[in-house]
Amino acid sequence: MMVHIYFAGLLALSLGASSKAQFVQPIELNLMQEPQRSAILANLPIGTQCELLQKVDSYWLRVRCKGLEGYVPAEHLGPEKPEVEKLLKTVKKSGLDARERLDFAARAVTLSVGHSRARAALKKYYLDYQFDRLPDDSDGAFAAERHIECSSPSKSNECLSDAFFPRSLFASRLLERRGSLFIGVGARESFLYVVRGTVRPSSIGTAGGISFVVHSQDFEDLDVRLIADVLGFKLASEPGNTVRYVSDGVRNFSRRKTGSRLELIEGEHQQVLVDLDNHVPPGEGGEIRADLRGDLLLDLLLVDDFDQDGRDDALVQVDNGGNHFPPGYLFASVSPEGKPVVSKVFHDSSTPPLIGETEGRLSFTFIDENGEKVFVLEKGEGRLVAERPYPVLETVFEYTAERLWKVAEDRATSPGETKQTLKYDLDEDGRPEIIECQGWERWHGLLCEIYRANRKLIGTIGGCKRVGVLPQKTRGMHDLVCDKNIVSRWNGTLYP
């Protein structure tokens, strides 16, 4: 599931009776026609002075800004005019989390774009914030380890960058490592793409090779221009009279384009490509998910000429806002005759695709527990052009969710209440370790705990269709496998 982050305001409003002057605290703020979702009257940059007219409730204020009367959330106005030096002091205060520090640094740079200490702070806190989301931010992603060849360990950052951000597609890229954690950021056109994961020297293949796990990946939805600038990236300028997509989203401070309508603006001409209030895009196979009507949200992820016909196309994520179904992905574009073309939802996935190149065209690679699927835009639809199923690692011992579900059925009980106690001597010392599995109904998988013979807990594996013991060992203990090829290795104390 996509994580939405905003530069939210942090400064509480103090309603001084004497002073009605209030200042916009976040990097930008929408002045709304009505409280709640309504038309945007104006976009107010940080430091804009407003006059407080009325406190509507604990959340909304009626204000006059730039000569216009409208509504803003109270938490985003404050009596003090924001200043760079004050913000740079605030950013170092104890007790703030990584996102709050990032937010204050972003405010400082917005106030003074050329301020070198503010720029350095924003770069530092942006990277801190990304590392802070590791290693726990796996968020439903499948943590399969992948291996790449690399000529020498000193080139491993470059090899890793090439794997995520091929030079032919990404004008700028950055790879930062802290211990075994890494963050990759690539810039393409006017978008940033972020990959977070862990890396280690590969134990297979030639020397210099690396093994990595992608924990999460996103199109950046923070203020992309500001961040690209302090990272030293050059982004393409926003197109002027050429094809451009927008939506009616009013997600306050994120500049990501999100909403219920996808529109195309071409010079003076404007047309609606998708309007979720009137039609739901067909899902995989063409059927319409009418059950989702009203709950859907569009996210514009990337605009580029994917099929090289000279017209821009958009990659759109259709999010149902819940955990029950992963978001779907579709393409929207305009035919050379000027007609809107919206594809079916060509794939569902909890994480957006990695961008790559296949047969000279932009391609989109989705990864799940079964392997990788690569799509391109062709004749107005998403077409599967390559499928790389993960190999099934051979085990010396295994147990499957299917077997446990069968046991539960035979006992006329639920899989969640069905426990199976298995034994395997993982370090071959003559005393078998205990692998205790029960059903995890939400994921239709196994949840297994691994114990020493004396019942000391040494690991937990969850959400797997299959749990097995591999022939090879690490530090004297057999490696374990979840699903087809997700390997867990003994670290000397436990299976992490």
Question: In whole angstroms, how close is the CB of 190 to Ca ion at the nearest point?
Answer: 17
Question: In whole angstroms, how close is the CB of 75 to Ca ion at the nearest point?
Answer: 42
Question: In whole angstroms, how close is the CB of 475 to Ca ion at the nearest point?
Answer: 13
Question: In whole angstroms, how close is the CB of 313 to Ca ion at the nearest point?
Answer: 4
Question: In whole angstroms, how close is the CB of 282 to Ca ion at the nearest point?
Answer: 20
Q: Which strand (E) or helix (H) includes residue 62?
A: strand 60-65
Q: Decide whether 160 or 450 has the Cβ nearer to Ca ion.
A: 450
Question: In whole angstroms, how close is the CB of 338 to Ca ion at the nearest point?
Answer: 13
CA geometry: angle 231, 235, 237, nearest 5 deg: 145
| Dist CA 185 CA 174 (whole Å) | 5
- The tokens describing 308, both together, are 């090289």
Q: Decide whether 106 or 435 has the Cβ nearer to Ca ion.
A: 435
Q: Decide whether 60 or 397 has the Cβ nearer to Ca ion.
A: 397
Q: Are 188 and 136 in contact (CB under 8 A)?
A: no
Q: Decide whether 132 or 189 has the Cβ nearer to Ca ion.
A: 189
Q: Decide whether 223 or 304 has the Cβ nearer to Ca ion.
A: 304
Residues in CB range of 379: below 8 A, 6 or more apart: none
Q: Decide whether 72 or 243 has the Cβ nearer to Ca ion.
A: 243
- The tokens describing 353, both together, are 């695709």
- Extract the runs of DSSP E, i.e. beta strands, from 15-129: 21-24, 28-32, 40-45, 49-55, 60-65, 68-73, 77-78
Eight-state DSSP code of residue 495: B
Question: In whole angstroms, how close is the CB of 428 to Ca ion at the nearest point?
Answer: 7
- Extract the runs of DSSP E, i.e. beta strands, from 267-312: 269-275, 297-304
Main-chain phi, psi angles of 156, to 5 degrees = -65, -30
Q: Decide whether 284 or 425 has the Cβ nearer to Ca ion.
A: 425
Q: Decide whether 142 or 490 has the Cβ nearer to Ca ion.
A: 490
Q: Are 247 and 263 in contact (CB under 8 A)?
A: yes
The number of residues making up the chain comes to 496
How many Å from the N-terminal Cα to the C-terminal Cα in the chain?
A: 23
Main-chain phi, psi angles of 191, to 5 degrees = -120, 155
Q: Are 24 and 67 in contact (CB under 8 A)?
A: no
Question: In whole angstroms, how close is the CB of 308 to Ca ion at the nearest point?
Answer: 7
Which residues would be at the binding site for Ca ion (CB under 5 A)? 305, 307, 309, 311, 313, 425, 427, 429, 431
